[in-house]
Amino acid sequence: MLVPAIDTKIGGYEFYGRSSPSGEVGGDLIDLAGSEDQWVAYVADVSGHGVAPGVVMGMAKSAARMLLSSGDDTTHLLPRLNEVLYPLKKPDMFVTFCFLARNGVGLRVGLAGHPAILHFSTRTNEVQQLECPNMPLGILPSGDFSSSEIRAEPGDVFALYTDGFLEPANAAGEEFGLARLQAEFQKHGKEPLNAICRSLKESVARHGAQFDDQSLFLIRKL
């Protein structure tokens, strides 16, 4: 109930997300909140495994939804979410977080200790890594968190994911890694979002077994 599958269209964008926990309780989160003119799609990953990360994940979703419902600008989302989560978790726990947001006609991305968002350009057939040099949420009680404006053309696809897609290792001990994920995303970027998701998950599964939660959130501009 906290992490349902996502398959919808809002205001000229298409969204498709799936989260697969590695056990009975997962610490990953995918979510979409907002309206046609103002929405936020985000992915979060709580450190560790088991019940405690699952509880913190639930608190992260509640806090994010509360902050987003206030109508505040997304430039404040990461620092305010950090302030909320810091006193609610164990000292050695943290949360990595990334988001793609629409506010009117523009798009904004922000990351906090999270793997790079991938941006597939349908015009050039190339994939760009979008990064922000921010620490994870919950490390310090307060801090500055940067985000940036980006542009997208019709047909472009953004991939938000957790490190469970990068860490599976083959028999030689080689992790799947970002380079392989980026290459697979580039190969399938023009396909329907559910087909992209299936292809990426199958490619990772062929490389190595799943030992961590795996979450993928795809957004296409129509």
Is 89 inside any structural domain?
yes
CA distance 164 to 111: 17
Domain containing 127: what range?
Answer: 6-221
Average pLDDT across the chain, whole number: 94
40 confidence band (pLDDT: 50, 70, 90): very high
Cβ of 76: how many Cβ atoms within 10 Å?
Answer: 13
% of the chain at pLDDT higher than 90: 79
Domain count, the chain: 1
Quote the CA–CA distance of 24 and 59 in Å, as a whole number. Answer: 18
**pLDDT digits over 92-101, tens only?**
999 999 999 9
For a pLDDT cut of 70, what percent of the chain falls above it? 100
Q: Which of 19, 58, 28 is nearest to 218 (CA)?
A: 19
Q: What is the CATH number of the domain that holds 136?
A: 3.60.40.10
User: pLDDT (tens digit, 9 = 90+) per residue, 52-63?
Assistant: 888 899 999 999
Considering only CA atoms, which of 218, 215, 220, 219 is closest in space to residue 3?
Answer: 215
Is there a domain that residue 115 lies in?
Answer: yes
Q: State pLDDT tens for residues 195-215.
A: 999 999 999 999 999 989 999
| 1 in any annotated domain | no
pLDDT at 220: 98
The verdict on residue 124 lying in a domain is: yes
Instruction: Report whether pLDDT(72) > 80.
Output: no
Report pLDDT for 29.
94
**Gyration radius from the chain CA atoms:** 16
Distance CA(53)–CA(46), nearest Å, equals 6
Contacts of 134 (CB under 8 A, 6+ apart): 78, 110, 111, 112, 113, 145, 146
Please give the Cα distance from 213 to 27 (Å, whole number).
7
